[in-house]
Amino acid sequence: MKKLLLGNAAVAQGAYEAGVRFVSSYPGTPSTEITEIIATYPEDEVYCEWAPNEKVAAEAVIGAAIAGGRAMTCCKHVGLNVMADPVFTDSYIGVNGGAVFCVADDPGMHSSQNEQDSRHYAKASKIPMLEPSDSLECKEFTRMAFDLSEQYDTPVFVRLSTRVSHSQSLVEIGERKEIPLKDYKKDIPKNVMMPAMAIKRHVVVEERTDKLIKFAEDTPLNKIENNGSKIGVITNGISYEYSREALGDKVNYFKLGLVWPLPVNSLKEFAEKCDEVYVIEELDPFIEEHCRAIGIKVHGKECFTLLGEYTPAMIKKAVLGEDSAEFTGINEEIPARPPVLCPGCPHRGTFYVLSKLGLTVSGDIGCYTLGAVAPLSSVDTTICMGASISASHGMAKVRGKEFNSKLVSVIGDSTFMHSGITGLSDIVYNKGANTVIILDNSITGMTGHQDNPTTGKTIRGEATKQVDLIKLCKALGIEHVTVADPFDVKNFEAVVKEETARDEVSVIIAQRPCALLKTVKYTGHCEISDKCRKCKMCMKLGCPAISVDKNGNVSIDVTQCNGCGLCIGVCPFGAIEKKD
Amino acid sequence: MSKTTNIMIVGVGGQGTLLASRILGNCVIGEGFDVKVSEVHGMSQRGGSVVTYVKYGEKVWSPIIDKGEADIILAFELLEAYRALPYLKSGGKIIVNDQKINPMPVITGVKEYPADILGKLKSSVNVTSLDALSLAKQAGSIKAVNVVLMGVMAKNTSIPYEKWVETVKDTVPPKFLEVNLKAFETGYNL
Ligand SMILES: Cc1ncc(C[n+]2csc(CCOP(=O)(O)OP(=O)(O)O)c2C)c(N)n1
């Protein structure tokens, strides 16, 4: 049976068919759906969970594999930074049951804070990396990754990119193959990585790489398509689909499905038959540098770009010199439509207050990063998950008490569990006096509503123990922990003032659930009455439902407003009313 | 190159463009075509511009559509239709819901919402505009805007009416089926 599947759904299906038993991940666009789909498979076949962060997920997967079961973790490109530590050493340990690390890059940064190229990790950790270019290959490559892992005693990367993860194409659905657990045997030289053992395992890793390079020369993961042309194209992933569309049969293709290690002889042979060779790959010149290193003359980044995504039109122009299709231009400036906090978003109340008080805000990653967007323009810094707390520690230490009294960190509930706790303990331990606001909207919002250790539910929706944020903060040594509703702006403002003034570390838990949760039921909508004095206080909320015309008249768009009522409390003249 | 039918669906995050592209994709496979649907998830869904592509034909390679290559642009909002204009193939068609949703730069008064977008579109390309919001309301739910628009688009493809109805039935939860079928018909018979 053929089905239209997202690349991510196809990865899940491939893992399922390969008999995967254990999946642990932390969400991250564009990888999230893989694990969500795995959670729909029967529980007695696949155990599946959200871990608090990628490092924990990867370690759990490594343990499951050592214990003899096939296991997988999925993350976005920056998630691989978080899990890099166990990954590099697992390269030495190898596996017992197959282990797959699936990582999704985001060229074009549709939903990310940087544009790193994960292929460097494969080379650096000496772990083979497969890269599919459509959904069918997503399924097949994931299945093969498990076999390869066991065959070469190594974890295996599957690299995706946004366009592969989030495009649907046709996939033949197969049956699950039950793979029995491998025997577990205590094996200190292989599984305990201390110097004496690791020195010997490094030798094994280098021998394995030699074998994998031989494998790369004629694996069916790599495909040569000879169209009798004098132009050759070496490509991978989504760039193959773009090239195929742009160049058709006019060139020969060397499509790399195994992006590390790369073959040597077969690439040389391919190049020898061509007058011109182009390397077509998004992001870094990874394949290009390999080609140059083995003496193949290629055109690469000088014809393309290091930035963002490629397109078929760009490739057509660079290789064939042909212009793209004609199109109708627009000769006026079109206002951009950046993402904004949703109507009813609890974070809006928090940022309204922080902005009003003119505080320096050490920000973090989540929906609340949008607190940086005008008119709230509240967030000062965003680095990576968890950095809000630790960075504010550094800020306070170099700039002193005065600065600290106007400084807060904001961090979401999921992000706090991911990597905020360690930063907070740093502040307490090292006698800081920062104020940290945990934005507890009862869910992992940004990536589309995943449960986490603070929500009281597992990935399969079962009730479980819920982290008590108040007790947790107290256990770290923080005496002042206050829970406040960010939609009660007066009280929230008073709490923020009091806690920032305090010369001790304090935590404010801003508690109000995400407006998109099914359990949250705002009804009706708000309306501006004739009491309005056009003071535009409500405009400071940056609510997409409220706008002002040229004459200063404020109105509320009923199709956008969900009746959350935040604006009612902000209006100094009582001019906003709730209607059914 | 490969001859494919290219449909671009544009709108504002939260308007239901994703569901529309999925209905379309599923409708097309039943007809024996190769098909690719390219979606966006994550950040831009939070009220930002959202673009999805549906391509079908004998063989589809790239899941994305370049400028000048869309046969149909189905726009859920006026400004987004305007933004997508360069993607239209010469001789292509724009179907646009004439709803306006102000983007944040307009709300804050930094930028102006371009005037008379519909007039500008109509002066250069083939446009069908409709008030899908009111039509959806008439059909029974303002949430069915996307299905009204699907109905208009369906009329502009070679796929038979029955096939569309069948796909809507397969994709929409039973509770909302009646409203959605009515919404689809309203669009189809416009
Ligand atoms: C290392 C890393 N992993 C995953 C992500 C993807 N990601 C961005 S924000 C976020 C979670 C946000 O949840 P929360 O902190 O609860 O805030 P909310 O979005 O609900 O406001 C995730 C998983 C990331 N950016 N970096």
- For the segment B11-54, what is each residue's pLDDT rounded down to a tens digit? 998 888 888 888 899 888 878 899 999 987 766 667 899 999 99
Whether B7 shows a pLDDT value over 70: the answer reads: yes
CA distance A219 to chain B (A): 23
Residues 6+ apart with CB under 8 A from A188: A197
A374 touches chain B (CB under 8 A): yes
Give the mean model confidence (pLDDT) for residues A106-119.
95
| DSSP code per residue over A46-65 | -EEEE-SSHHHHHHHHHHHH
How far is residue A246 CA from its own chain's centroid? 30
Token digits of residue B135: 């039509």
CATH topology for A346-511?
Rossmann fold (3.40.50)
The percent of residues above 90 in pLDDT, for chain B, comes to 71
Under DSSP, the state recorded for A513 is -
* Residue type for position A515: A
Confidence of residue B110 (pLDDT cuts 50, 70, 90): confident
- Whole-number mean pLDDT of chain A? 97
Closest alpha carbon to A148 in A48, A51, A220: A220
Per CB-CB distance under 8 Å, the chain B contacts of A375 are: 108
Domain A525-579 matching CATH 3.40.50.2020: the answer reads no
- To the nearest whole Å, the CA of B106 is away from the closest chain A CA by 7
Which residues are CB-contacts of A416 (< 8 A; sequence separation ≥ 6)? A438, A454, A469
Is B155 in CB contact (< 8 Å) with chain A?
no
Q: Which of residues 463-502 of A touch B (CB under 8 A)?
A: none
Q: Choosing among A328, A330, A370, A554, which should be mutated to test the B contact, i.e. which has the most B CBs within 10 A?
A: A328
Pick among A110, A167, A540 to test the B interface (most B CBs inside 10 A): A167
Give residue-wise pLDDT tens across range A327-375. 998 999 999 998 999 999 999 999 999 999 999 999 999 999 999 999 9
CA of A53 to the centre of ligand 1 (A): 10
Interchain CB contact of B177 with A (< 8 Å): no
Q: A256 - beta bridge partners?
A: A236
User: How confident is the model over A50-62, as pLDDT tens digits?
Assistant: 999 999 999 999 9
For the cut 60, the answer to whether the pLDDT of residue B2 exceeds it is no
Question: Is the complex ipTM more than 0.90?
Answer: yes
Structure token pair of residue A458: 């597992």
Q: Apex CA A517: angle with CA A515 and CA A523, to 5°? A: 55
The Cα–Cα gap between A519 and A497 comes to 31
Q: How many domains does chain B have?
A: 1
Residue range A504-533: average pLDDT? 96
Question: Which residues of chain A make contact with B80, given a CB cutoff of 8 A?
Answer: 337
Predicted local distance difference test score (pLDDT) of residue A530: 95
pLDDT tens for A264-311 read: 999 999 999 999 999 999 999 999 999 999 999 999 999 999 999 999
For residue A334, which amino acid is it?
I
CATH of A2-218, one of 3.30.300.30, 3.90.400.10, 3.40.50.970, 1.10.3720.10: 3.40.50.970
Q: Do B79 and A334 touch (CB under 8 A)?
A: yes
What single string gives the DSSP state of each residue in A355-397?
Answer: HHTT-EEE--SSGGGGGGSTTT----B--STTHHHHHHHHHHH
DSSP state of B53: E
pLDDT tens across A7-31, in order? 999 999 999 999 999 999 999 999 9
pLDDT number for residue B44: 61
The larger pLDDT score, comparing residue B45 to residue A88, is at: A88
Chain region(s) in chain A for CATH 3.40.50.970: 2-218, 346-511
Q: What percentage of residues in chain A have a pLDDT greater than 90?
A: 96
Confidence check: pLDDT of B164 > 80? yes
pLDDT at B1: 44
* Contact assessment for residue A449 and residue A523, using Cβ atoms and an 8 Å cutoff: no
Q: How far is CA A137 from the centre of its chain?
A: 22
pLDDT at position B18: 87
Task: Tell me the pLDDT tens digit for each residue of A188-230.
Answer: 999 999 999 999 999 999 999 999 999 999 999 999 999 999 9
* B126-B50-B25 Cα angle (round to 5): 75
Q: A341 CA to chain B: closest CA distance, Å?
A: 6
Domain that holds residue B169: 5-188
Q: Which of A77, A78, A446, A447 to mutate to test the pocket of ligand 1 (most atoms within 8 A of CB)?
A: A446
Instruction: Using an 8 Å CB-CB cutoff, list chain A residues near B40.
Output: 110, 166
Residue A260 is predicted with a pLDDT of 98
CA distance B128 to B126: 7
Check if the beta carbon of residue B57 is closer than 8 Å to that of residue B2.
Answer: yes
pLDDT at A491: 98
The answer to whether the CB of A446 is under 6 A from ligand 1 is yes
CA distances from B62 to A127, A134, A137, A164, B14 (A): 29, 9, 14, 10, 26
State the pTM of this model.
0.96
Distance (Å) from the C-alpha of residue B43 to the closest C-alpha of chain A?
5
Which CATH topology does A223-320 take? Rossmann fold (3.40.50)
Q: What is the full DSSP assignment across A275-333?
A: SEEEEE-SSS-HHHHHHHHTT---B-TTTS-SSS---HHHHHHHHH-----------SP
CA angle A347, A350, A354 (to 5 degrees): 135
- In angstroms, the separation between the Cα of residue A546 and the nearest Cα of chain B is 7
Name the residue of A74, A415, A452 whose CB sits within 8 Å of the most ligand 1 atoms, as the mutation to test its pocket.
Answer: A415
What are the residues whose beta carbons fall under 8 Å from the beta carbon of A576, sequence distance 6 or more?
Answer: A526, A527, A528, A529, A538, A556, A567, A568
Q: By the CB < 8 Å criterion, does A313 face chain B? A: yes
Closest Cα to atom 24, ligand 1: which residue? A28
- What is the b/e burial string over B60-88, where b = at least 16 CB atoms within 10 angstroms of the residue's CB? bbbbbbbbbbbbbbbbbbbbbbbbbbebb
- What pLDDT band is residue A580 in, cutting at 50, 70 and 90? confident
- What's A79-134 look like in SS3? HHHHCHHHHHHHHHHCCCCCEEEEEEECCCCCCCCCCCCCHHHHHHHCCCEECCCC
Q: Does A33 touch chain B (CB under 8 A)?
A: yes
CATH at B128: 3.40.920.10
How high is the mean pLDDT of chain B? 91
Interhelix angle B17-29/B145-155, nearest 10 degrees: 40
Q: By alpha-carbon position, which residue is closest to atom 18 of ligand 1?
A: A445
Instruction: Report pLDDT for A266.
Output: 98
As a whole number of Å, the CA-based R_g of chain A is 27
**Is the backbone of residue B91 left (phi > 0), alpha (psi -120 to 50) or beta?**
left
B155: Cα separation from own chain's centroid: 13
Cβ distance B41 to A111 less than 8 Å, yes or no, reads yes
Asked if A1 has any chain B CB less than 8 Å from its own CB, the reply is no
Q: What is the mean pLDDT of residues B153-168?
A: 91
Contact between residue B25 and residue B54 where contact means Cβ atoms under 8 Å apart: yes
Distance between CA atoms of residues B117 and A76, nearest Å: 39
